[in-house]
Amino acid sequence: MGLTVPLWKFIIDSALFLAIGYAAFYAFRRVSRYTGSLHRLILYSAISLALATAGRILDLLRDFSSHYKVMLRSVVSFIYFVSIIGIIYALLNYIAQVERRIFPEACTKHGELKVEPGSYLFLFDEPEEILGLLEGTTAAILAITRNPELYNELGNRVRRIWVSMAVETAIPPTKLHMIQDVMIRFLKSAGRGIVVVDCVEYLTLYNDFDTIFKFLTALKDYVTVMDSTLVVAIKRGTLSGRELKLLEREFRRIEELVAEE
């Protein structure tokens, strides 16, 4: 039984067999290292790559046998079809799982807003003052924050978006369009709700203030359309006088609302 294909084709088939086989071996060795969505991605990918490796073995057999060429071609095509579908499913499933963590849906729909719909500026000395502002509301809350643990005592009504450069489940401060997308998705799922942005100072470390100002005014416009509430919470003394005055032109000081009540 001799080689029935050009040598260059046999070399390519052999190289693909080694590459795909090593990838399957590499993936299987790492299946037990991870949990959750990453575990499923690696497991499904490893199985699909193992099938593709089997397909490469049959391809190599075809290189040496013309008798079974037609029959093996159908089997190989089916194996590759299944392995490609498996890889596609693994990737889409992983992306969906990651998006569920990054783009949370509201757990409460059409709850009562303690703060009436609108966009507000809230100056605080201690972060815990933000919690006092939110107490009593039954509406869904989205916190875009540097300190997700701050909102733990509010329970499951709060969905937290961690703004950070450190981990993949957080949103980087340079990705303002992603933060905006998160808010829009959240409010659509909630019907109406409260969005708290308490990390303006951190955002200005990675973006100039004019960019942040445009970003916040865009959030304000979306909140207005969705009959919801936006609270821009800023620690006193962290912004310049000019920056604060610009924000006050667009956002009503929440202290004024409290005084009216």
Which long-range contacts does 203-212 make (Cβ < 8 Å, 24+ apart)? Answer: 203/163, 203/173, 203/176, 204/239, 205/173, 206/172, 206/173, 206/174, 207/173, 207/174, 207/176, 209/239, 209/243, 211/176, 212/176
**Which letter, b or e, does each residue of 118-147 get, where b requires 16 or more Cβ atoms within 10 Å of its Cβ?**
bbbbbbbeeeeebeebbeebebbbbbbbbe
The predicted pLDDT at position 259 comes to: 45
Sign (positive/negative) of CA torsion 229, 191, 103, 179?
A: negative
Q: Which residue ranges of the chain lie beneath pLDDT 50?
A: 107, 110-111, 113, 259, 261
The predicted pLDDT at position 68 comes to: 65
> How many angstroms separate the CA atoms of 17 and 11, rounded?
10
Sign (positive/negative) of CA torsion 157, 180, 192, 95?
A: negative
Residues linked to residue 171 through DSSP beta bridges, in sequence order: 163
Q: Assess contact for 254 and 115: CB atoms under 8 A.
A: yes
Tell me the CATH number of domain 118-260, given options 3.40.50.300, 3.30.70.2190, 3.40.50.40, 3.40.50.620. 3.40.50.300
pTM: 0.63
